[in-house]
Amino acid sequence: MAVVFQKPKSLTDKELHYCPGCPHGIIHRLVAEAIDTLGIEGRTIGVAPVGCAVMAYDYFSCDMVEAAHGRAPAVATGLKRSIPGNVVFTYQGDGDLASIGMAETVHAATRNENITIIFVNNAIYGMTGGQMAPTSLPGQITQTSPYGRNLETQGYPIRVCEMLSALDAPYYIERVAVNNVKNVLKAKKAVERAFRNQIEGKGFSLIEVVSACPTNWGLTPRKALEWVDERMIPYYPLGVYRDKDAGIGCTPLSMQTFKKEG
Amino acid sequence: MSEKVLMKGNEAIAEAALRAGCLHYFGYPITPQTELTAYMAKRLPKTEGGVFLQAESEISAINMVYGVASTGKRVMTSSSSPGVSLKQEGISYLAGSDLPAVIVNVQRGGPGLGGIQPSQSDYFQATKGGGHGDYHLIVLTPSSVQEMADLTSLAFDLADKYRTPAMLLADGTMGQMMEPVELPEPHTSAVDKPWAVTGTQMKRKHNIINSLYLSPEVLEKTNFERYERYAAIERDEVRYESYMMDDAEYCIVAFGIAARVAKNAITAMRKEGMKVGLLRPITVWPFPKDAVHEAAQKVKGFVSVELSMGQMIEDVRLAENCLRPVVLCNRAGGMIPGVDQIVEVTKALMTSVEGGAR
CA B284 to each of CA A131, B125, B133, B138, B143: distance values in angstroms, whole numbers, following the listed order: 43, 12, 19, 8, 12
* Residues in contact with B34: Cβ distance below 8 Å, sequence separation at least 6, in sequence order: B10
Q: Is B2's pLDDT higher than 50?
A: yes
Residues on B contacting A at a C-beta cutoff of 8 Å: 24, 26, 51, 53, 55-57, 59-61, 63-71, 73, 75, 89-90, 93, 97, 197-203, 206-212
Give domain limits for chain B: 4-195+206-236, 241-357
Strands B240-243 and B276-281: antiparallel
pLDDT reported for residue A260: 43
Q: Where in chain A are the domains? A: 24-243
Question: In the prediction, which pLDDT does B188 show?
Answer: 86
Residue A27 in contact with residue A118, Cβ under 8 Å?
yes
Mean pLDDT, residues B147-165: 98
H helices present in B25-80, as ranges: 34-43, 58-70
What band does B1 get if pLDDT is binned at 50, 70 and 90? Answer: low
pLDDT value of position A252: 87
- Per-residue pLDDT of A185-233, as tens digits, reads 999 999 999 999 999 999 999 999 999 999 999 999 999 999 999 999 9
In CATH, the architecture of B4-195+206-236 is: 3-Layer(aba) Sandwich (3.40)
Burial degree of B314 (CB within 10 A; 0-12, 13-18, 19+):
middle
| Pick from B90, B199, B212: CB nearest A45 | B199
Q: Which residues of chain B neighbour A12 with C-beta distances below 8 Å?
A: 206
| Least CB–CB distance from A78: residue in B56, B67, B199 | B67
> What is the CA angle A166-B63-B177, rounded to 5?
110
Cis peptide before B111 (omega within 30 of 0): yes
Q: Which residues of A touch B26 (CB under 8 A)?
A: 78
Distance from CA of B213 to the nearest CA of A (A): 10
Q: How close is the nearest chain A Cα to the Cα of B110, in Å?
A: 26
pLDDT digits (tens, 9 = 90+) for B23-82: 999 999 999 999 999 999 999 999 999 999 999 999 999 999 999 999 999 999 999 999
- Amino acid occupying residue A217: W
Query: Letter for the amino acid at B203?
Result: K
Q: CB of A127 within 8 Å of any CB in chain B?
A: no
Give the β-pairing of B301-306 and B326-330: parallel
B4-8/B178-182 β-pairing: antiparallel
Considering the four listed CATH numbers 3.40.470.10, 3.40.50.11740, 3.40.50.970, 3.30.450.20, the one that applies to the domain covering A24-243 is 3.40.50.970
CATH 3.40.50.920 fits B241-357, yes or no: yes
* Option in A68, A74, A82 nearest B71 (CB): A82
